[in-house]
Amino acid sequence: MAYLLLKSIHIFAAIAWVSGMLLDALLVGVSDQLRRLGPGLLLRSAAALVARWDRRCTVPAMVLVWIAGITLAIWGGWFNQPWFAGKLGAVILLTGLHGVLSGRLRQLAAGGDNEAGLLRSAPLIAACLVATAVTLVVLKPM
Amino acid sequence: MRITAALEGATLLILLLVAVPLKYLAGLSAATRVVGPVHGLAFVLYIWTLTRAAAGGLFTRGETIRLLVGAFVPFGGIFNERALARRARRLPVNREA
């Protein structure tokens, strides 16, 4: 029962983390187009709002995902299984991408004018990493 | 970020100086089983805050590499925390206060 409860917390936190991160990724991805529309006030305001959501909800959800995830992995004895190494790799990359997006968002909220560059593909990269993690944990292929 | 640097450094020292000797000298493998994941979490949190700060333009490439290397070296966390404290004191908002 306690294991399943922790698993539920992990899944709920993962949903909150990924949805918040996709919001970050979408805003950073369209920042160039928004900047071209006119004065940067719209982009700055939107970035400030999303950055606040990131700080108050998305980051705590990410921390909860890690705490619950590692506890579940120890509990289930998954650390020596190959599929878990793949899932952990995907989540580490997702965490790194979130860090980059969060930093860029803070820069946009402060009026920075850096181009999105490769981060235009951030929503797609995030979706692929989530799909990899979910597939590995559901199928447990190896 | 100073808090995460101190936490990462402290858990690494506890792991290396307390948990590992307890495991190999006293046969208490539970010590590394508990401290290992705690240090892992602290490490991820520190690297995340470093990535965010670097992506936000707060650090130069050299500073980022130095702060990253410090996370892998015993006692490096202490140097990282001190470096971040010095850096915070140099910020304009803190100089005015």
Residue B93 has pLDDT above 70, yes or no: no
User: Which residues from chain B sit within 8 angstroms of residue A96, using beta carbons?
Assistant: 47-48, 51
Question: How many C-beta neighbours within 10 Å does residue B49 have?
Answer: 22
Contact B44 A107 (CB under 8 A): no
Rounded to a whole number of angstroms, the distance from the CA of B78 to the nearest CA of chain A is 23
**B96 — pLDDT class (breaks 50, 70, 90):** very low
A37-45 long-range contacts, CB within 8 A, separation 24+? A40/A111, A40/A113, A43/A108, A44/A108, A44/A109, A44/A110, A44/A111
A106 in contact with B, Cβ within 8 Å? yes
Report the candidate in B84, B67, B71 with the shortest Cα–Cα distance to residue B11.
B71
For range A63-68, the mean pLDDT = 94
**A126 — pLDDT class (breaks 50, 70, 90):** very high
**B97 — pLDDT class (breaks 50, 70, 90):** very low
Burial class (CB in 10 A: 0-12, 13-18, 19+), A11: middle
pLDDT of residue A68: 93
User: Which residues from chain B sit within 8 angstroms of residue A62, using beta carbons?
Assistant: 48
User: Which residues from chain B sit within 8 angstroms of residue A99, using beta carbons?
Assistant: 47-52, 55
**A98 — pLDDT class (breaks 50, 70, 90):** very high
Residue spans of the domains in chain A: they are 2-139
Most confident of A38-47, A94-103, B50-59: A94-103
Tokens of A30: 């369209």
Q: Which of A10, A21, A71, A100 to mutate to test the interface with B (most CBs of B within 10 A)?
A: A100
Q: What is the ipTM of this complex?
A: 0.78
Among A62, A102, A107, beta carbon nearest to B57: A107
| A50: DSSP letter | H
Q: Half-sphere exposure of A58 toward its Cβ, with a 13 Å CA cutoff? A: 22
Most confident of A24-38, A91-105, A107-121, B69-83: A91-105
User: Which residues from chain A sit within 8 angstroms of residue B41, using beta carbons?
Assistant: 66-67, 70
User: Which residues from chain B sit within 8 angstroms of residue A98, using beta carbons?
Assistant: 48
pLDDT of residue B94: 56
CB pairs under 8 A between A and B: 50
- pTM value? 0.83
> What percent of chain B lies above the pLDDT cut of 70?
93
